[in-house]
Structure 1
Amino acid sequence: MSTGTDPLAPLADLPGVPEAVAEVRKAVDRLYGHRVMRRRASEVTSEAALRGARASAALDGADWPLEEVRRRTDFSADAQARTVGGALRISAEAGQLLSTWRHSPLQVLARLHLLAVGDADPSAGRPRRPGEPAANAFPAELDAVEGVGAPVAGGAEVVELPPAPSAEESAARLDQLSQLLAARAEGAAGGTPALVVAAVVHGELLALRPFGEHNGVIARAAQRIVLIAEGLDPKAICPAEVGFAELGTAAYRQALLGYLGGTPDGMARWIAHCGAALRLGVRESTAVCEAMQRGMV
């Protein structure tokens, strides 16, 4: 059972959530115990960052083959290339932002946005202002299709997400989220499993869409930072982004609707979806470890 004063604690006891937390913990522990991790952990981390960035860019509409991402050196040619480049910059730097995240999550989010759009963009690093629109949580070109990876079970119709809250409301809720995370870092609140905290941060950023664009890749990077900060994935070797892409944008959207609804069942479904994505990320890195062990990498 969850304890403490953390306002997120009740989420850990929702139906199905303890099981999701336990399954994730077991999968992550198994990966960290792989014999390759004793000798080549840094290589696994680098590969996870690359694969996570590729998948996150795919979810933002730039679905490039992994080898193309690995081969390219110029990411300025067009919008898709810039999306991939931004995802790579974010993935490479996310682990270095940990100390700042613990006392100023908003500063880290601003940095992630700058990395996503590039410093030449006048909006880089700042949330949207009153009257400025927020881009869709999922790119328009993916709204009309079943999405990256698997479709929603049973061929369910894609449901439109509600519009983002106003810039004022978004800023207020973002400040509340930042205060909650800072309190956890200071030990004033805690006890809630890392998966639950990461899922809430991810879902809230997709709900608020605090920046004019690239909110998806920023939300997924924030989830990764939380998993590092909370000690579940300290070496950043579990690319949940790969799992979200494999499960598909339609399933991603449906799960997010559960979070946006705020009901116990909806919140539980969102947390379970994040857990399933993380386990698939573990599977991806386990395959990398196995390939390294066989001398194929």
Structure 2
Amino acid sequence: MTTDPLAPLLALADVAPAVDRARDRVDQALRHRALRRQGGQVAAEVGLRSAVASAALEGYPHEREDVRAGTVTDPVLQGALRVAGALPGLADLWPKAPRQVLARLHVLAARGVVPEEALGRPVADPAVGARLDGLAGLVAGGTKAAPLVLAAVVHGELLALRPFAGPSGVVARAAARLTLVATGFDPRGLVAVDVGHREREPEYVGAAGAFATGTPDGVRSWLRHYASAVEVGADQVGIIGDEILAAS
């Protein structure tokens, strides 16, 4: 019998309660009354806010209203918007062909930022390739860990590896969101986790660096941050929903 490599993570101090709190917060958020008739509007706004947050975390901050107005031409921001728009259509393919989806995400994120020949191609490093294969195996059913734990590991590992040229962090954040969607944790892609990362950016950067060390404390720090970011992202559903209802 093969041991699930992610099984021990829930046993790390404070991780299981943090995961449970995040799950409860998401369940509550997805019952917001705005989702009954204005779910499409909520999803579109979540996509916009997520893209703005992801670009900012990559070092390209822009005012959300400027982005909404279509006046921002920054290629990293435009790539993040393309990625956000593509996620619903990639969710079914993600657990079946994760390496293919990662390549597609990079093409969307990095167009206009890196040379054409580099789009969709991971760096030529056997060690990176081996770890990508291992990560793909987890996504494709190699673990029964809680969806939030798997998403956090996908995100942290891709941040640590930076397997693609250019805005590799945009790819990492998108892959993590895809994991939450594909596993049914957030089936409609309404949890703006990247907003949570942006709002807690110093913690995000520090915890990602801690995860990259591979130590139990480092991994624990990252999982706790990720759960907190999910809670912030879930709260965005209510904030956006209330704004839409007030305007209707």
Q: Considering the TM-score relative to the shorter chain, is it more than 0.5?
A: yes
Tell me how far 1:62 sits from its aligned partner. Answer: 1.4
- Structure 2: how far apart are the matches of 1:271 and 1:49? 23
Q: Deviations over 1:136-157 (max 9, x none)?
A: xxxxxxxxxxxxxxxxxxxxxx
- Structure 2: how far apart are the matches of 1:173 and 1:108? 16
Partner residue of 2:134?
176
Q: Deviations over 1:50-94 (max 9, x none)?
A: 10000000111111111111111673xxxxx00100000001001
- Structure 2: how far apart are the matches of 1:118 and 1:224? 20
Map 1:274-285; keep pairs closer than 5 Å. Answer: 274-285=226-237
More helix by proportion, 1 or 2? 2
Which of 44, 47, 51 is the aligned partner of 2:45?
47
- Structure 2: how far apart are the matches of 1:197 and 1:268? 13
1:202 partner amino acid: H
- Structure 1: how far apart are the matches of 2:219 and 2:109? 28
Which range moves more in the overlay, 117-126 or 172-181? 117-126
Which of 105, 120, 127 is the aligned partner of 1:112?
105
Which of 197, 206, 217 is the aligned partner of 2:159?
206
1:47 partner amino acid: E
Partner residue of 1:254?
206
Partner residue of 2:8?
10
- Structure 1: how far apart are the matches of 2:92 and 2:32? 28
Tell me how far 1:214 sits from its aligned partner. Answer: 1.0
Which of 32, 49, 72 is the aligned partner of 1:34?
32
- Structure 2: how far apart are the matches of 1:90 and 1:73? 18
- Structure 2: how far apart are the matches of 1:74 and 1:12? 41
Partner residue of 1:141?
none
- Structure 2: how far apart are the matches of 1:201 and 1:168? 19
Structure 1 unaligned regions, length at least 5: 76-80, 130-166
Tell me how far 1:285 sits from its aligned partner. Answer: 2.1
- Structure 1: how far apart are the matches of 2:64 and 2:21? 28
Q: Secondary structure at the match of 1:48?
A: helix
Map 1:62-211; keep pairs closer than 5 Å. Answer: 62-72=60-70, 75=73, 81-118=74-111, 121-129=116-124, 167-184=125-142, 189-190=143-144, 192-211=145-164
Which of 189, 200, 221 is the aligned partner of 2:174?
221
Is the 2:47–2:84 contact (alpha carbons within 8 Å) kept by the matching residues of 1? yes
Q: CA RMSD of the aligned region, Å?
A: 1.6
Partner residue of 2:242?
290
- Structure 2: how far apart are the matches of 1:170 and 1:226? 20
- Structure 1: how far apart are the matches of 2:200 and 2:134? 30
Higher CA-based Rg: 1
Partner residue of 1:59?
57
Q: Deviations over 1:152-194 (max 9, x none)?
A: xxxxxxxxxxxxxxx211011101111222134xxxx42x111
For these two proteins, the number of residue pairs brought into alignment is 245
2:188 partner amino acid: K
Structure 2 unaligned regions, length at least 5: none
2:206 partner amino acid: Q
- Structure 2: how far apart are the matches of 1:6 and 1:227? 19
Q: Deviations over 1:93-112 (max 9, x none)?
A: 01211122111100000001
Tell me how far 1:277 sits from its aligned partner. Answer: 1.0
TM-score in terms of structure 1 length? 0.79
Runs of 4+ with >3 A deviation = none
Map 1:232-247; keep pairs closer than 5 Å. Answer: 232-247=185-200
Q: Secondary structure at the match of 1:103?
A: coil
- Structure 2: how far apart are the matches of 1:27 and 1:40? 20
Identity %: 41
Which range moves more in the overlay, 198-207 or 30-39? 30-39
Partner residue of 2:22?
24
1:128 partner amino acid: V
Tell me how far 1:5 sits from its aligned partner. Answer: 4.7
- Structure 1: how far apart are the matches of 2:4 and 2:35? 33
Tell me how far 1:242 sits from its aligned partner. Answer: 0.5
